[in-house]
Amino acid sequence: MDLLDALRLLTSLELPHRRATSGPREHLQVRWAEVADTAVFHGLAPLVSYNLEYRLGGAGAPEEIHDQLLGYYHGTLTDNVFKLVHLKRLLCGAEDVEVVLLEAAAYADALYPHVAFRALPELRLLVRRGDFPKLASAGGPLGLRIEGVEGDAVVLTDGRVRFLLHDALFGQRWGAAEEEIWARGAPAKAFGPRVRRPAIEDAILVQVVLMARSAFASPLIEYVDLRELVLGSPAQRGSWDRPPDAAVLKSRAQKQGLSRALWCALQLLIHFFPGAQGGAMVLLPELPAAVRGLLEAGVLLPSRNLDRTRVNRAAEEIRKLLV
């Protein structure tokens, strides 16, 4: 079994549970050190560890691999709980602020069956810029302070937990598109009375926007996020337990100038996770053949390499092709 096939199996959210001591074990014929190193690099280690221990009966992995990955699983669990508690305290201290949880901040406890499966390197929030000072004030007692910018986001941090505050996703400032994302969102009441998760079509477009900004030099965990959204969150009931509406998604992508980026993201998803092909194909925007050819050569080809560096040297050229 090659590396990518192993990662596809080990990151499935639909494997049946199985005790390591029950029945004959199926040993995967893989290079375990390579699997473990790649899982760590791409943010997959906690999910791979859980599946290896509890759903694949160990799969013949050496003891040192189990220990290495379990360390990431337990570390991610502890870190995520700490950060989500921080998030709740921050938002409950600014209850009049309208907030949309973005990306991993929205996914960890809603898209995945266990909060440890999806690490939270940072917590992205969509907030009106005029409300940034309110969040900073609410974060003061928690040791949070504004420390510069990262991309188009303002960083609120205490040195360990990093909140990335966005006031726009599709333009220069909060506008009609962001208002609509808020209005369509599902309440995330555990974090505050005015906190929401985006509707599934909006969540996909947010994912695509963030991946496109990095020229699709994205860790594989982001494609797992996209996979679960495209399939309608089959492993979890909650905010996104329905397939996305293809007509709605394509229309919003076209309106925001994201048709090319959406096409690329879905094509890369199919490459990395062919099991999502059925769901992804119906969501693909229609693009002229010449444009598809340019995107294939300029975006997809350099983005399919698992051991590529995080920062693509041709990132600016790739971003130009997406517009």
What is the predicted pLDDT for the residue at 323? Answer: 62
- pTM confidence score: 0.92
Summarised one tens digit per residue, pLDDT across range 190-204 is 999 999 999 999 999
Q: How far apart are the first and last CA of the chain?
A: 38
Does 308 have pLDDT greater than 90?
no
Percent of the chain with pLDDT over 90: 76
245 or 20, which is more confident?
245
Summarised one tens digit per residue, pLDDT across range 222-261 is 999 999 999 998 877 777 888 999 999 999 999 999 999 9
DSSP state of 18: -
29 burial (CB, 10 Å; 0-12 / 13-18 / 19+) is exposed
What is the predicted pLDDT for the residue at 214? Answer: 86
Least confident of 110-119, 170-179, 190-199, 213-222: 170-179
Given a contact cutoff of 8 angstroms between Cβ atoms, the answer to whether 226 and 261 are in contact is no
What is the predicted pLDDT for the residue at 25? Answer: 57
Q: What's the CA dihedral at 270, 236, 121, 59 to 10 degrees?
A: -70
Does 311 have pLDDT greater than 50?
no
Does 118 have pLDDT greater than 50?
yes
Kindly state the tokens that stand for 123. Answer: 């917590």
Which 3 state secondary structure label does DSSP give 102? Answer: strand
Which 3 state secondary structure label does DSSP give 125? Answer: strand
**Mean pLDDT computed over 111-118:** 94
Given a contact cutoff of 8 angstroms between Cβ atoms, the answer to whether 148 and 155 are in contact is yes
What is the predicted pLDDT for the residue at 24? Answer: 47
Q: What is the mean pLDDT of the chain?
A: 91
Residues 122, 128, 131, 132, CA torsion sign = positive
**Mean pLDDT computed over 76-88:** 96
Does 72 have pLDDT greater than 90?
yes
Given a contact cutoff of 8 angstroms between Cβ atoms, the answer to whether 224 and 172 are in contact is no
Does 102 have pLDDT greater than 70?
yes
Does 310 have pLDDT greater than 50?
no
What is the predicted pLDDT for the residue at 73? Answer: 97
**Mean pLDDT computed over 168-180:** 85
Given the DSSP bridges, would you call strands 162-166 and 153-157 parallel, antiparallel or unpaired?
antiparallel
Q: 100: part of which helix (H) or strand (E)?
A: strand 99-102
Given a contact cutoff of 8 angstroms between Cβ atoms, the answer to whether 123 and 166 are in contact is no
**Mean pLDDT computed over 64-79:** 96
Task: Find the length of the chain.
Answer: 323
Summarised one tens digit per residue, pLDDT across range 265-280 is 999 999 999 999 999 9
**Mean pLDDT computed over 207-230:** 94
Give dist(CA 85, CA 67) in Å, integer.
Answer: 27
The candidate with the shortest Cα–Cα distance to 105, out of 4, 227, 214, 239, is 239
Kindly state the tokens that stand for 141. Answer: 């007692």
Which 3 state secondary structure label does DSSP give 145? Answer: strand
**Mean pLDDT computed over 100-123:** 94
Which ranges of the chain would DSSP assign to H, the alpha helix? Answer: 3-10, 32-41, 45-54, 63-92, 103-107, 132-139, 176-184, 200-213, 220-230, 246-255, 259-272, 277-281, 289-295, 301-303, 315-322
What is the predicted pLDDT for the residue at 316? Answer: 64
